[in-house]
Structures are given as structure tokens and as C-alpha cells.
Amino acid sequence: MPTDPLKLRQVSVFQNATDDDLKLIVQHGIERSIEEGEFFFFQGDPAIHAYVLTSGRAKLLQMNSAGQQVNLRTINAWQMFGALGAVRENAMYPASAQALEQSTALAVKSDYLHEFMQTRPYVSFDLMKLMTGYIQEMQERYRELATEKVERRLARALLRLTAQMGVKTADGGIELAFTRQDLAEMSGTTLFTASRVLSDWEKRGLIESGRERVVIRNPHGLVQIAEESGK
């Protein structure tokens, strides 16, 4: 099923694009469908396409030489990823993109997007805004990792996810669909430590947890853990 051009308006980079612009993007894109666990691209591949996720969920991750991975960002529908090839020539993807569930994306040639932006400064500017946001977030996470303890990092990760993609449950909780492993990779710790912290929080009534699932019962309590200055 081809992408409806007007839906692309939801993509922050295209918020100021004209209807004709959007049609052009769709015309120059290819639909790619990917199963859970498969990759859109790998770290180190030549960055020949930029992607817009049209359905599903994916993550950007980096691995070190020993195979340990860190989770850089979770991608939801109508978010753009892998766009840096449109800015630098002959760039390689600095991270891999893996589908968290069966997903589809619109792939646009980096070269085309580059050319497209040359004559549409409003698009470049929106892309820049997106990039400054990433820089800020990465700087913040870097500082957290360097100076904060695991419990607080995990609390912040959950709060960030809540803001970005929390789904309200019928009874007022906020549900997040992630494995302990995912959460660990997002907060720079191990599966085991993450599990321990979550168990503790569950005992204290802050959350409710299940397989591949965390329901936040008391967001304010998490904020307190994330913020509390001493200790």
C-alpha cells in the first residue's frame, strides 16, 4: 500500500513542506517492509537512503567490538532516521536500525533528499531543529551516564519514553512495551540490574511489570527518583 503523501506532513522535517513537495518525496521513495528483529541498515553501511518509518517501531543502536550494544533512540511511526547521508557525502551510518516489531518505512535516496533540501531552506531548517534536539538529548544522556547512578538513569529513561510514546491504559496507568534488555540498553546498565530495580519499584507500588511490559502507576514517584539531589 503506497504512502499517502499528506501523511508525511506529520514528519517534523516536512511540517512546512508544500503538498507538491510531499508528493515528490513519495514518488522518489521506495516502500520497505521489515520483520521484527530485522535491520533497515547496519552501522558502517554506506548511507544511501534516508528513512521515514510509516508503521511499526524500530530502534537505533550501536555495538562495540565485543558485541555489547547500546540503544541510542527509539523510532516511532512518522519519524525520520538515517538522514545524515543527505548532509554529508559518502557518509556511513553511524548506528544500526533494527525493527522492534514488523514495520514499514519509506526509503528516499540521500542524494535526492540532499538536492531536494538545497532549494527548500524551510526543510533544511526543520532538519536542523531535529538535529539540535538530538545533540541536546545525547549530551544530557552522556552527562547522566557519567554522573548518575543506575536507578536514576532508569527512572529518566522511563520518563523519556513516557513522554515520547507512552500509551494510557484503561485504568490510568501508562504502558511501555519494552523488554528488560531494551531498558537496560537505554540506560547503560545490564538486564539483571534493570530487573532488580524494577522489582524494587514494583514492591513500592511505582510500577507494575510483566513480560515485555512496564506499566507506570506513579509517574510522580519516578520523577522524584530522577530528580532527588542527594544520595
- The yes or no reply on residue 229 touching its own copies (CB under 8 A) is yes
For residue 48, the partner it binds in DNA, its own copies, none, with Cβ less than 5 to 8 A by kind, is none
Q: What is d(CA 53, CA 80) in angstroms, rounded to the nearest whole number?
A: 6
Q: What is d(CA 91, CA 44) in angstroms, rounded to the nearest whole number?
A: 9
Radius of gyration of the chain, Cα coordinates, nearest whole angstrom: 19
Residue 142: closest CA among 183, 111, 89, 188: 188
C-beta of 56 vs 188, nearer to its own copies = 188
Residue 13: closest CA among 176, 95, 97, 134: 134
For residue 27, the partner it binds in its own copies, DNA, none, with Cβ less than 5 to 8 A by kind, is none
For residue 9, the partner it binds in its own copies, DNA, none, with Cβ less than 5 to 8 A by kind, is none
Q: Which span sits near its own copies by CB under 8 A: 29-37, 85-93, 160-168, 212-220?
A: 85-93
- Residues at the contact surface with DNA, assessed by CB under 7 A: 149-151, 179-181, 188-193, 195-196, 198-199, 202, 209-213
Cell reading at 115:
538536492
Side chain identity, residue 110: S
Q: Which residues contact 157 (CB under 8 A, 6 or more apart)?
A: 183, 186, 187
For residue 196, the partner it binds in its own copies, DNA, none, with Cβ less than 5 to 8 A by kind, is DNA
In angstroms, give the least distance from the CB of 184 to DNA.
8
Among 72, 108, 113, 174, binds its own copies (CB under 8 A): 72
Judge contact between 54 and 160, C-beta under 8 A: no
Judge contact between 218 and 172, C-beta under 8 A: no
Site for its own copies in 87-146 (CB under 8 A): 87-88, 91, 94-95, 117-118, 121, 124-125, 127-129, 131-132, 134-136, 138-146
Q: What is d(CA 81, CA 57) in angstroms, rounded to the nearest whole number?
A: 12
Question: Which residue ranges make up the site for its own copies (CB under 8 A)?
Answer: 62, 64-66, 68, 70, 72, 84, 87-88, 91, 94-95, 117-118, 121, 124-125, 127-129, 131-132, 134-136, 138-148, 188, 227, 229-230
